[in-house]
Amino acid sequence: GDSVTQMEGPVTLSEEACLTINCTYTATGYPSLFWYVQYPGEGLQLLLKATKADDKGSNKGFEATYRKETTSFHLEKGSVQVSDSAVYFCALTPDSNYQLIWGAGTKLIIKP
């Protein structure tokens, strides 16, 4: 069945470091891909999305490119801030139904 695999956390970085959180997926057809973020004590928020191959989603300095050939949707940011500390979830919706399929989440800790 369809699934999402993302790198285990926690990921600990210093402020202004470069970030990559890996996400790969297994799905038939052309799923839509998402990154959601969960800040401490808050609900899940959509960070960015991409709906077709080679699309790049971007928001708040974060980017991710839909790579069909490698079935990946890695999250990147050039310079992280303490305020980026959160749990990041990669997810997909298959093109055959409505449901979100989630990765396990990656906790990101940014130290000043």
Contact region with other proteins (CB under 8 A), list: 13-21, 67-75, 78-86, 101-109:
101-109
Give every CB contact of residue 45 below 8 A, 6+ residues apart in sequence.
Answer: 36, 37, 38, 39
Site for other proteins in 46-65 (CB under 8 A): 46, 49, 51
CB atoms within 10 A of CB 42: 9
Q: Does 99 bind other proteins (CB under 8 A)?
A: yes
Q: Does 105 bind other proteins (CB under 8 A)?
A: yes
Residue 83, sorted as left (phi over 0), alpha (psi -120 to 50) or beta, turns out to be alpha
Closest distance of CB 71 from other proteins, Å: 18
Which is it for strands 44-50 and 32-38: parallel, antiparallel or unpaired? antiparallel
Closest distance of CB 16 from other proteins, Å: 28
Q: Does 91 bind other proteins (CB under 8 A)?
A: yes
